[in-house]
Structure 1
Amino acid sequence: MEIRFKFHPEKAVEVACLFLKLHGKPMSYLGLLKLLYMADRIALERLEQPITGDRYVSMNYGPVLSRVYDLIKGLDVPGAKDLWSRYISSRDPRYKIYADYTVSLREYPGDDELSEAEVKIIEQVYAKYGHIDPFDLAETTHLFPEWVNPYGSAIPISVEEVLKNVGKTDEDIERIREEFEREDYLDWVLNG
């Protein structure tokens, strides 16, 4: 069974909002997507679970969180689109030339859904990468072994690939899979 963590729209919004708050002005959506991926990747390494639970894909400019990318494009993601658009604007009229390529913070929702460890990861990722040109950041993500050039399409990246590439052993991955299956089963029992 492939590990497919549950997508947490509230956490995805809070992570994106925290990056935008730290940035202090509208941000290129390409840059935001790279920072989000890096934060999830580091969380998989340190916490053995992602922050957002999103699915990953290789795209021309590097790995991307697929549902967050859909939200940025204004597509419907069940349980997430209204929440996203309440806190994040995908077009900022103050930056007319780049309006189609920036996201900005409408209102900060706080970080109640995020653990202290997750907030620390987000802050560290922003401190290290938050001011790098988005295209240079994309080039940096091309160095991640799980990224494969999709030549204009999108290729899924499995959680197992990411875990392996951040140094987890086959035994670690199997243990993480078993924990995921237990949690997934309990969630199904409790929530139907």
Structure 2
Amino acid sequence: MTIKFRFHPEKAVEAAAILLKLHGKPMKYIGLLKMLYIADRLALKTMDQPITGDRYVSMDYGPVLRGVYDLIKGQPVDSALPLWSKYISPRDSNYVDLLQYPGNEELCEEEEMILKQVYETFGHLDPFLVEELCEEEEMILKQVYETFGHLDPFLVAEWTHDLPEWKDPHGSAIPILVEDVLRSMGKTEEEIEDISQEAQREAYLDGALPKIFG
């Protein structure tokens, strides 16, 4: 069974807000997309689960978070667009900006550090809604920003072309399986199965708890 994580719009907004706050000015949206994907990938490697839970696709400029990309374009993703629009500006040409900072209670420290590391590497070469993220997630985001936040977004896109899971879509969008990302990191089939089971348990609980307590 294909691994499918639940998309967490609150955490996606918080993660984007952290990167934009670290940047301190409008950011090219392609750079934001690249760093959020890298952060999700690092979280999968270190925590066995992503930050956003979004779907991944191969596009011309590398791997992309499908839901976040749609939100940047102003397209509805379930009920996430009003939340996204409250904190992240509409796309202006090729840029997005932080409208207000929501905090960082949802990201864990590791996730925040990953984001900061990625930004520091890629965020400055050109151009925190944090109540959903655990401490580890916040650390991941910070690490990602520290690593990537100072680089030209198109250099980051070229870097992501070297990731094993990316396939040239020739102008389209090809889904990226979580299993392929995990295998490219050296995860064993047993570890992948454990991650799959945990994702299924989370999906079941997300569906069952509202029925019990609603």
Tell me which interval the TM-score lies in, with the shorter structure as reference length.
over 0.9
Q: Deviations over 1:10-33 (max 9, x none)?
A: 000000010000000000000000
Q: 1:181 aligns with which of 172, 183, 200?
A: 200
Q: Is 2:210 the partner of 1:191?
A: yes
Q: Is 2:55 the partner of 1:55?
A: yes
CA distance in 2, matches of 1:88, 1:124: 21
Residue 181 of structure 1, CA deviation: 1.8
Q: CA RMSD in A?
A: 1.0
AA in 1 matched with 2:171 = G
Q: Which residue of 2 aligns with 1:141?
A: 160
Is the contact made by 1:8 and 1:53 (CA closer than 8 Å) also made in structure 2? yes
Q: Which residue of 1 aligns with 2:33?
A: 33
CA distance in 2, matches of 1:191, 1:166: 35
Residue 6 of structure 1, CA deviation: 0.4
- Larger deviation: 6-15 or 176-185? 176-185
Residue 170 of structure 1, CA deviation: 0.7
- Larger deviation: 177-186 or 28-37? 177-186
Moved over 3 A (4+): none
Q: 1:158 aligns with which of 167, 174, 177?
A: 177
SS of residue matched to 1:57: strand
Q: Which residue of 1 aligns with 2:151?
A: 132
CA distance in 2, matches of 1:54, 1:100: 24
AA in 2 matched with 1:13 = V
Is the contact made by 1:54 and 1:68 (CA closer than 8 Å) also made in structure 2? yes
SS of residue matched to 1:33: helix
CA distance in 2, matches of 1:150, 1:31: 19
CA distance in 2, matches of 1:90, 1:19: 16
Q: Deviations over 1:48-103 (max 9, x none)?
A: 00100100000000000000000001111122101111101133xxxxxxx31000
- Larger deviation: 65-74 or 174-183? 174-183
Residue 190 of structure 1, CA deviation: 1.6
Q: Which residue of 2 aligns with 1:100?
A: 93
Q: Deviations over 1:91-120 (max 9, x none)?
A: 3xxxxxxx3100000000111111111110
Which structure is richer in relative contact order (CA contacts within 8 A, separation 6 or more)? Answer: 1
Identity %: 62
Q: Deviations over 1:101-152 (max 9, x none)?
A: 0000000011111111111010011001001001100000001000000000
Provide the TM-score with structure 2 as the length reference.
0.84
AA in 2 matched with 1:121 = I
Is the contact made by 1:90 and 1:100 (CA closer than 8 Å) also made in structure 2? no
CA distance in 1, matches of 2:206, 2:70: 26
Residue 177 of structure 1, CA deviation: 1.0
SS of residue matched to 2:193: helix
Q: 1:171 aligns with which of 190, 193, 199?
A: 190
AA in 2 matched with 1:101 = N
Q: Which residue of 2 aligns with 1:82?
A: 82
Structure 1: state its 5+ residue gaps: 92-98
Q: Which residue of 2 aligns with 1:96?
A: none
Provide the TM-score with structure 1 as the length reference.
0.94
